[in-house]
Chains A and B, each alone.
Chain A
Amino acid sequence: MTALLTAFLVSVIAASTPLLLAAVGELVVEKAGVLNLGVEGMMLAGAIAGFATANATGNTSLGLLAALFAGVALSLIFGLITLTLQANQTATGLALTIFGRGFSALLGAGYVGIAAPTLPKLQIPALSDLPIIGPVLFSHDILEYFALVSLSIVAFCIRKTHLGLILRAVGDSHDAAHALGYAVVPIRYAAIAFGGALGGLAGAYMSLSYTPLWAQDMTAGRGWVALALVTFAAWRPFWLLIGAWFFGGLMYLSLYVQALGVPVPSALLSALPYIGTVVVLVMISRDRRRIRLHRPAMLGRSFHARA
């Protein structure tokens, strides 16, 4: 029983990590009033960049760095088109996803079925050997810890710091922020780049830790689930964690039940996390007042400085 519980908790943390990383990044982007629907594309770019680099150099740290840069590079294309050229954010985000899918498939064509080094689990002497607590809390790879750390830092910054206040001002009223002398467009660029960095790392987690192989479209919609998570959490950081665990749990369950040989077709079980996303989204969104209260008021709107 303890073994089962331990395995369950460890798997849920693993399954929730890419969702959490990508969602924390997107949260910052949306807090700045920008809706970047390209998360899936940035994740895929990060996944192949990380995988290819780790494969070529044998060094996973370089892989993570490459994934981060790939995510940032893609996000800056999005920034250029939506902020400088003021194009529609919804459509540009879609373009980013389409481009990221194609780009990663092209780069990854030579890497299908090849192994790369995986992220090492960071063992902490003594603590990692504790029953249950050891494997659940103290034997993860760096990205699993980093996801939680980045969430805490972002939560703290948004709520308690001047920086967070500026970010929220830009997202809630870009005209007011501009009138106060804040550089709306550069701040949004920075937020978008941050989202790209975390999106890229989320992808790297997929290809260097979760299923350490490259496969086309390997993120399988997790970027979109991460986007749904931000709405689900109503733009409040710690709810992201609850949401990520919930969806991570659903993803694990759909695999676990298949492995048990329960007579439910595996294809239908695989659809479970997506059905769960729709159901939760519908339940959460019903409360229009709460959504309107927390939603950054300028979300998805272009900003053009007048004078």
Chain B
Amino acid sequence: MLKIEPRGLESKFWRYASPILALVLTGLTSGLIFAAMGRPAGLTVYTFLIAPLLQQDGLAALVVKAAPLIMMGVGLSLAYRANVWNIGTEGQFTLGAIFAGGVALALPDAPAWIIFPAMLMAGMLGGMVSGGLVAWMRIGFNANEILTSLMFTYITQYLLVYLVTGPWRDPAGFGFPQTAMFSDAAAAPKLIEDSNVHIGVLLAPLIAIGLWFMLEKSLLGFQFRVLGQAPRAARFAGFSEDRLVWVAMLVSGGLAGLAGMLEATGTLGQLTTNISPGYGFAAIIVAFLGRLNPLGVIPAGLLLALSYLGGDAAQINLGLPNAVTGIFQGILLFYLLGCDVLLLHRIKWRRDTVRIAR
């Protein structure tokens, strides 16, 4: 029968091969699901994963979607390394967008050199407030950060609905639940003229590289890794767990807020009731797919961005609901986590040779 045996040492080969195996298995499984629904499996997988890239501006759309995912995935890698389970990035993203949107609506006539930096700060502050509250509740009151950060996601979503249907609703918007468009000065600077490619596309990989250096080369990063892998050792070494929880929540929250701010100013140009198509949850998958390594998060973010484009393409071309994206993401995370068994274990086919005599 199949036996799972410990290897003793982590396998270098599977460290890189397991995400690829997971991806292949995800493709096969989603193909099977589509086939079971009576769709041509090959065509669906092609529409989902390849067709979006061949479209005009496909690459531009991909990097614009990947930017927020990478920013949030990088922050989460840091937090998860230290066993700080922030799963409320969706809410931190939203609060960042709300704070930045508030600045844009309050200063409609400000010049770009004032308003854009102000929105940048406000967006990060929004995410940090949300993340900081979670850190404060964990440290001061021992409250489980998984539950509090998730509850904040719901609370923030209702706050957004309240604002865009109430005090911040565009008076000239025919009653639609949305704010007025931000001024042109408030728009995120474009990297390419007449496209959606905004400055976030440049910031995301820079942040990833910066945090990689911090995590791998600095004392603080070392403390993060020790706290995650050997909490007792971290305590004996005198590393302050509280301080690391604060840093993890403020950094992951701040980056989520920045991503939300860039989505609001760079892509949408206003606030509506749904500013995030589940980016906060997808970022969790991005972090794991990137092996909790900020550099690995970059390709992972691109892949998850592709799953959003693929969901849209499947909706338009094949009439599938774009919830397909969620299924693909869920299956991918299942396989990623499952395949990691190969890192520390080998699976052997072995007959039970030893039988206890009756």
Asked, given contacts A216-B323, A278-B137, whether A224 binds B147 with beta carbons under 8 Å apart, the answer is yes
Q: Which of B125-148 contact A (CB under 8 A)?
A: 137, 141-144, 146-148
Residues of A within 8 A of B330 (CB): 41, 95-96, 98-103
Q: Which single residue of chain B is at the shortest CB-CB distance from A38?
A: B330
Q: Is B40 an interface residue (CB 8 A)?
A: no
**Out of B151, B152, B162, B329, which one reaches A267, CB within 8 Å?**
B162
Most chain B CB within 10 A, of A94, A103, A231, A288, is at A94
The distance from the CB of B69 to the nearest CB of chain A, in whole angstroms, is: 14
B323, A282: Cβ atoms closer than 8 Å: no
Determine the residue in chain A with the shortest Cβ distance to B164: A267
Q: Identify A81's interface contact among B150, B161, B162, B338, CB under 8 A.
A: B338
Partner of A285, one of B143, B284, B333: B143
Asked if A286 and B161 sit within 8 Å, CB to CB, the answer is: no
The closest CB in chain A to the CB of B163 belongs to A267
Give the most central of A100, A281, A304: most B CB within 10 Å: A281
A221 within 8 A of B: yes
A278 and B148 form a contact (CB under 8 A): yes
Q: For the complex, is B337 an interface residue (Cβ under 8 Å from A)?
A: yes
Assess the B143–A87 pair: CB atoms within 8 A. Answer: no
Which of A81, A221, A267, A281 neighbours the largest number of chain B CB atoms within 10 Å of its CB? A267
A227:B147 contact, CB within 8 angstroms: yes
| Contact of A91 with B4 at beta-carbon distance under 8 Å, contacts A267-B161, A271-B159, A278-B148 already known | no
Is B321 an interface residue, CB under 8 A from the partner?
yes
User: What is the 8 Å Cβ interface bit string for chain A, positions 224-235, against chain B (1 contact, 0 not)?
Assistant: 100110010000
Give CA–CA (A84, B338) in the complex, Å: 9
Residue from the list B281, B337, B345 in contact with A92, Cβ < 8 A = B337
Number of A residues near B (Cβ < 8 Å) is 49
Number of chain B residues close to chain A: CB under 8 A:
45
Q: Complex formed: what's the CA distance from A268 to B285 in Å?
A: 30
Cβ–Cβ < 8 Å partners of B87 in chain A? 94
Most buried by A among B4, B143, B328: B143
Do A91 and B341 touch (CB < 8 A)? no
- The one of B144, B158, B281, B338 that contacts A281, using a Cβ cutoff of 8 Å: B144
Across the A-B interface, how many residue pairs have beta carbons closer than 8 Å?
147
The reply to whether A265 and B6 contact each other, CB–CB distance below 8 Å, is: no
CB of B327 closer than 8 Å to a CB of A: yes
Is the CB–CB distance between B338 and A271 below 8 Å? Answer: no
Question: Nearest chain-A residue to B159 (Cβ)?
Answer: A271
B323 & A281 in contact (Cβ 8 Å cutoff)? no
B333-A265 in contact (CB<8A): no
Q: A231 with B327: in contact, given A267-B158, A268-B162 (CB under 8 Å)?
A: no
Checking A228, A274, A288, A304 against B6 with a beta-carbon cut-off of 8 angstroms, the contacting residue is A304
The answer to whether residues A106 and B85 also contact, given A267-B161, A271-B154 and a CB cut-off of 8 A, is no
A40–B132 alpha-carbon span in the complex (Å): 25
In the complex the two chains form, what is the Cα distance from A37 to B6 in whole Å? Answer: 27
Q: Residue among A85, A86, A109, A220 with the most chain B CB within 10 A?
A: A85
Residue on A nearest B334 in the bound complex, by CB:
A95
Is the contact region of chain A dominated by helix, strand, or loop, or is it mixed?
helix
Least Cβ–Cβ distance between A217 and chain B, in angstroms: 10
**B142 pairs with A285, CB closer than 8 A:** yes
Q: Would you call A11 an interface residue if the criterion is a C-beta within 8 Å of the partner chain's C-beta atoms?
A: no
Question: Which residue in chain B gives the minimum CB-CB distance to A80?
Answer: B338
Whether a CB of chain B sits under 8 angstroms from the CB of A90 is yes
Q: A90-B85, A267-B158, A267-B161 are in contact. Are A282 and B333 (CB under 8 A)?
A: no
With an 8 A cutoff between CB atoms, is B155 at the interface?
A: yes
Return the contact of A101 from the options B144, B326, B333 (Cβ within 8 A).
B326
Among A84, A102, A220, A227, chain B packs the most CB atoms within 10 A around the CB of A102
Q: Does B245 contact A (CB under 8 A)?
A: no
Mark contacts of B302-346 with chain A using CB atoms, 8 A cut-off: 1 yes-contact digit, 0 otherwise: 000000000000000000110111111111011001101100010
Is A277 an interface residue when CB atoms closer than 8 A count as contact?
Answer: yes
A133 part of interface (Cβ distance < 8 Å): no
- The 20 sampled A-B contact pairs (Cβ below 8 Å) are A81-B334, A84-B4, A85-B338, A87-B340, A88-B337, A91-B333, A91-B337, A94-B333, A99-B326, A103-B323, A103-B330, A106-B327, A221-B154, A231-B147, A267-B161, A267-B162, A271-B154, A271-B158, A271-B159, A278-B151
Q: Return the 5 tightest CB-CB contacts between A and B, nearest first.
A: A102-B326, A99-B330, A105-B323, A95-B333, A271-B158
CB within 8 Å of A: which residues of B? 4, 6, 85, 87, 137, 141-144, 146-148, 150-152, 154-155, 158-159, 161-162, 165-166, 281, 284-285, 288, 320-321, 323-331, 333-334, 337-338, 340-341, 345
- A86-B4, A101-B323 known; 6 new pairs, CB 8 Å cut-off, are A96-B330, A98-B281, A98-B329, A102-B323, A268-B158, A277-B151
Q: List residues of chain A with CB under 8 Å of any chain B CB.
A: 37, 41, 77, 80-81, 84-88, 90-92, 94-96, 98-103, 105-106, 109, 216, 220-221, 224, 227-228, 231, 265, 267-268, 270-271, 274-275, 277-278, 281-283, 285-286, 288, 291, 304
